[in-house]
Structure 1
Amino acid sequence: MTITAAADGSALGNPGPNGWAWYIDDENWAAGGSPHGTNNQGELQAVLELLRATAGTDEKLLIECDSKYVIDSVTKWMPGWKRKGWRKSDGGPVLNRDLMEALDEAMRGRDVEFSWVKGHAGHPLNEAADQRANAAAKAYQAKQEPRRGPGFTQATDAGAAVAGSAPIAAGARGDDAWGAAPADGPGTPWVPEPVEGPTAGRFDKLSDPSASAAAASLAEPLWAEASDLFDGLDDAPADDPIELRITLSGDEHARLTDLAEAQGVTLEEALRRLI
């Protein structure tokens, strides 16, 4: 059996109030965040919390992420970083080292596979995780306790619940079944914000991973491979530079910011590398 889950992060302002969430189905999910952080930190924390929550099971774990930075960090770059004492190829320190080291530890002995999915493209599990991560970020922005979810309660074949590591057990502080008590009082279930497009009205069917897997196979990568981003950086600048102005959506700007942070460069330099 394979447990399929989505992990996602959100940051309002990037950096700003941030949230993370992982989602398997309506009975197995968790969310959290911090008053200040980046989108990358939220993405990494979501995967880490998922690994910790499912540590009590021997099942294979398939993690759907819309962050190439997270997937490449864990599956491609981490071995080299470790050999170099958590330094990048240019000698600079690895960003978010504390989370990277914690992920390295949580991955040991686990059968884990990552699958990239395009964000905001109707992948059911990704949409569910995104909704919860964004809701957590908004809760921190409003200085409220986020709804943390039930954690990992998936039953084994024998019917016994697997004890996961839910961040806060429901009922521990008078919380309702969704996690923390909402602002309008205990017992009020959380209804995710409406989703425009192909996921509208489908939160009652988000536990079907087959649709996500089929759609993911059609998705195209958002970024070039990391090695390609350095091509031509040593070329002499043109005698007559050309000024180019582009308009980015909020989502595009956040992705470019993530890429710049991952490479340790400015937004302008990240855009130059993509070109």
Structure 2
Amino acid sequence: MKEVIIYTDGACSHNPGPGGWAAVLLYGGHRKEIFGGEKRTTNNQMEMTAVIEALKALKEPCHVKIHSDSAYIVNCFQQKWYQKWQKNGWMTSTKKPVENKELWQDLLALTKKHKVEFIKVKGHSDVELNNRCDELARAAVPK
């Protein structure tokens, strides 16, 4: 199984508002940058979209290490929140519908195709590729 390193980030001007997402994918000596934006979205939606689009870009099942500064995403997978949500019919522990359910479902389906590890990165620090994703995501925000 090929090992792919992915850095992702999302950005939003107002929340909700126009937003952008970006990912940097690394495999061997190869590097690919992908990004996009939406006119009305949220920061969490852009963070999730970055991971979804990065996983969609993979052509075969891979061992993937996703580096994200989104506690929302990393904690969900490291603490397995999604298992409780699914068990409770996509309701939170406070009996409210899980926000971004469709994106979570897309993301969960993609994580089943690959062996995925989520790694928390401190945002706006000296992590070069996280900073690059932030730059790309901000540039992708529709004006």
Instruction: Name 2:12's counterpart in structure 1.
Output: 11
User: Residues 93-124 of structure 1: CA distance to partner in whole angstroms, max 9, x if unpaired?
Assistant: 00011101111111113111011010110101
1:57 counterpart (53, 60, 74):
60
Structure 2 CA distance, aligned partners of 1:106 and 1:114? 13
Deviation digits for residues 211-250 of structure 1, max 9, x if unmatched? xxxxxxxxxxxxxxxxxxxxxxxxxxxxxxxxxxxxxxxx
Question: Gaps spanning 5+ residues in structure 1: where?
Answer: 143-275
1:78 maps to which of 58, 82, 104: 82
Match of 1:112 in 2: 116
Secondary structure in 1 matching 2:140: helix
CA contact (8 A) 1:10 1:19 kept: yes
Q: Higher relative contact order by CA 8 Å / sep ≥ 6: 1 or 2?
A: 2
The offset of 1:27, in angstroms, is 4.2
Q: Is the 8 A contact 1:24 1:125 kept in 2?
A: no
Q: Which structure has the bigger radius of gyration?
A: 1
Alignment of 1:177-188 (within 5 A): none
Report if aligned partners of 1:45, 1:99 keep a CA contact under 8 Å in 2: yes
1:19-51 CA-to-partner distances (Å, cap 9, x unmatched) read: 011112584111012001111110011011111
Distance 2:4 2:31 in 1: 13
How do 1:230-245 and structure 2 match up within 5 A? none
The answer to whether the Cα contact below 8 Å between 1:5 and 1:125 also exists between their aligned partners in 2 is no
CA distance in 2, matches of 1:60, 1:102: 18
| 1:162-219 CA distance string (max 9 Å, x none) | xxxxxxxxxxxxxxxxxxxxxxxxxxxxxxxxxxxxxxxxxxxxxxxxxxxxxxxxxx
Which contiguous aligned blocks of 4+ residues in structure 1 show a shift greater than 6 angstroms? none
The counterpart of 1:131, out of the listed 97, 111, 135, is: 135
Q: How far apart in 1 are the matches of 2:65 and 2:100?
A: 23
SS in 1 for 2:40: strand
| TM-score, normalised with respect to structure 2 | 0.90
Q: Aligned residue for 1:198?
A: none
Q: Percent identity?
A: 36
SS at match of 2:122: coil
1:71: Cα distance to partner? 1.1
RMSD of the TM alignment (CA)?
A: 1.4
Q: How does 1:20-169 map to 2 (within 5 A)?
A: 20-24=21-25, 27-54=31-58, 56-75=59-78, 76-137=80-141, 140=142, 142=143
Aligned residues: 138
User: Going by fraction, where is strand more abundant, 1 or 2?
Assistant: 2
In structure 1, C-alpha distance between the alignment counterparts of 2:112 and 2:130, rounded to whole Å: 25
